[in-house]
């Protein structure tokens, strides 16, 4: 009899991860297959576990090609690329990798804030272009310490960002669908009011349909010509067309972005603006954190193989 198989959709940065998988399952590394469709068709009845990631499309159409699928284990905390509701309706467990990446994502939120407010990217280009010492005086940035930070989505990553803000003597308020009862931070029921109050607005929500275009033109205009928006969540949370036009028009002061609507495609207008810092979705991309994420993926697979339950299940989606 063939061993139950794990269908792994993407290469992981750590070779030992694959060895760990092989302990319980036959490993099918889909990206190595000459014909991915044929590989899935040939092994569909053996595949018990699917290993994917927060940014690897895992739609219902793929899930339903695997009639014996019992668990989907994803690398990453976000799950908007996975049809979790459909999987759960089929009784398939879905796991992600929460918490292990909170520090790095929150660190990068501050890296983006400092880089945008103090114009670090622009300054680097200024020096590399031998402009220092020329008539082109480098422009002043804005102070970060003691300013007002609005956090959109005060979850585990949002709380890590709030802790860092206290180290910068910043005042923090937040917007969620509902106020939290376990934090002593100010709550704004209106996102527009939060944006009007804040000097800096940091987007830390989940992605997907529930938050699509949550930060719209009105919110961006309320943040205003001296305001800066930081996005370490998902590009879909901000109306990207409104973001570009308010940055170009000067209605919005600046943006520090790690995520975009159609990655890896970044709107060209953003690449020409000196009041914008643009990064290639690297918030969790450190050796330590990606290793911890990969380990947690395979801990989930191991746990499923030995107990029938994943360790970090995504909560049931109604």
Catalytically active residues are 234, 263, 281
Per CB under 6 A, 281 contacts ligand 8YV: yes
205 in helix, strand or coil? coil
Which residue in 5, 76, 228, 261 binds ligand 8YV (CB under 6 A)?
A: 76
Rounded to whole angstroms, how far apart are CA atoms 160 and 223? 22
Choose the stretch contacting ligand 8YV; rule: CB under 6 A; options: 21-29, 75-83, 127-135, 244-252.
75-83
Nearer to ligand 8YV, 78 or 254 (CB): 78
Task: Give the shortest CB-290-to-ligand 8YV separation in angstroms.
Answer: 7
Task: Give the shortest CB-209-to-ligand 8YV separation in angstroms.
Answer: 16
Task: Give the shortest CB-77-to-ligand 8YV separation in angstroms.
Answer: 4
Taking the CA atoms of the chain, what radius of gyration do you get in angstroms? 22
Rounded to whole angstroms, how far apart are CA atoms 199 and 16? 45
Is residue 156 within 8 A of residue 176, CB to CB? The reply is no
Q: Which of residues 132-161 bind ligand 8YV (CB under 6 A)?
A: none
Per CB under 6 A, 312 contacts ligand 8YV: no
| Residue-by-residue DSSP string for 86-155 | HHHHTT-EEE---STTHHHHHHHHHHHHHHHHTTHHHHHHHHHTT-TTSS-PPPP----TT-EEEEES-S
Q: Which of residues 15-74 bind ligand 8YV (CB under 6 A)?
A: 53-55
Is residue 49 within 8 A of residue 30, CB to CB? The reply is no
Task: Give the shortest CB-279-to-ligand 8YV separation in angstroms.
Answer: 12
Rounded to whole angstroms, how far apart are CA atoms 197 and 177? 18
Rounded to whole angstroms, how far apart are CA atoms 84 and 264? 23
Per CB under 6 A, 109 contacts ligand 8YV: no
Nearer to ligand 8YV, 221 or 300 (CB): 300
Cβ-based burial of 41 (10 A; exposed 0-12, middle 13-18, buried ≥19): exposed
The secondary structure of residue 317, as a DSSP letter, is P
# binding residues, ligand 8YV (CB under 6 A): 10
Rounded to whole angstroms, how far apart are CA atoms 231 and 109? 8
83 in helix, strand or coil? coil
Task: Give the shortest CB-236-to-ligand 8YV separation in angstroms.
Answer: 12
Task: Give the shortest CB-176-to-ligand 8YV separation in angstroms.
Answer: 19
Per CB under 6 A, 77 contacts ligand 8YV: yes
Nearer to ligand 8YV, 54 or 113 (CB): 54
Rounded to whole angstroms, how far apart are CA atoms 222 and 309? 46
Contact residues for 15 (Cβ-Cβ < 8 A; gap 6+): none
Nearer to ligand 8YV, 33 or 285 (CB): 285
> Chain centroid to CA 184: how far?
25
Is residue 87 within 8 A of residue 63, CB to CB? The reply is yes
Nearer to ligand 8YV, 101 or 149 (CB): 101
- Per-residue binding string, ligand 8YV, 240-279, x by CB under 6 A, is ----------------------------------------
Nearer to ligand 8YV, 75 or 230 (CB): 75
Task: Give the shortest CB-22-to-ligand 8YV separation in angstroms.
Answer: 21
Which residue in 51, 78, 116, 223 binds ligand 8YV (CB under 6 A)?
A: 78
Residues contributing to the site for ligand 8YV (CB under 6 A): 53-55, 75-78, 101, 281, 284
């Amino acid at each position: 009899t063939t061993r139950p198989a794990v269908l792994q959709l993407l290469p992981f940065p750590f070779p030992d991860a694959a060895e760990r998988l092989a302990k319980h399952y036959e490993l099918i590394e889909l990206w190595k297959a000459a014909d991915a469709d044929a590989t899935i068709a040939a092994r569909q009845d053996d595949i018990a576990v699917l290993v994917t990631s927060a940014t690897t499309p895992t739609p219902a159409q793929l899930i339903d090609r695997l009639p014996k699928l019992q668990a989907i284990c994803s690398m990453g905390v976000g799950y908007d690329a996975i049809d979790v509701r459909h999987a759960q309706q089929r009784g398939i467990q879905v796991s992600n990798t929460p918490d292990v990446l909170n520090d790095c994502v929150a660190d990068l939120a501050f890296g983006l804030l400092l880089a945008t407010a103090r114009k670090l990217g622009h300054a680097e280009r200024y020096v590399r272009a031998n402009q220092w010492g020329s008539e082109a005086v480098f422009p002043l940035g804005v102070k970060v310490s003691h300013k007002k930070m609005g956090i959109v989505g005060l979850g585990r990553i949002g709380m890590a960002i709030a802790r860092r803000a206290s180290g910068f003597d910043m005042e923090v308020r937040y917007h969620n669908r509902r106020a939290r009862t376990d934090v002593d931070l100010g709550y704004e029921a209106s996102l527009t009011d939060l944006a009007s109050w804040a000097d800096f607005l940091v987007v830390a929500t989940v992605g997907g349909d529930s938050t699509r275009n949550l930060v719209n033109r009105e919110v961006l205009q309320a943040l205003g010509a001296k305001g800066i928006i930081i996005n370490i969540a998902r590009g879909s949370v901000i109306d990207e067309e409104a973001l570009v036009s308010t940055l170009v028009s000067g209605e919005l002061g600046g943006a520090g972005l790690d995520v975009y609507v159609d990655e890896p495609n970044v709107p060209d207008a953003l690449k020409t603006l000196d009041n914008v810092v643009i990064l290639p979705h690297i918030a969790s991309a450190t050796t330590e954190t990606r290793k911890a994420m990969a380990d947690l993926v395979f801990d989930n697979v191991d746990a499923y193989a030995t107990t029938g339950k994943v360790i970090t299940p995504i909560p049931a989606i109604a």
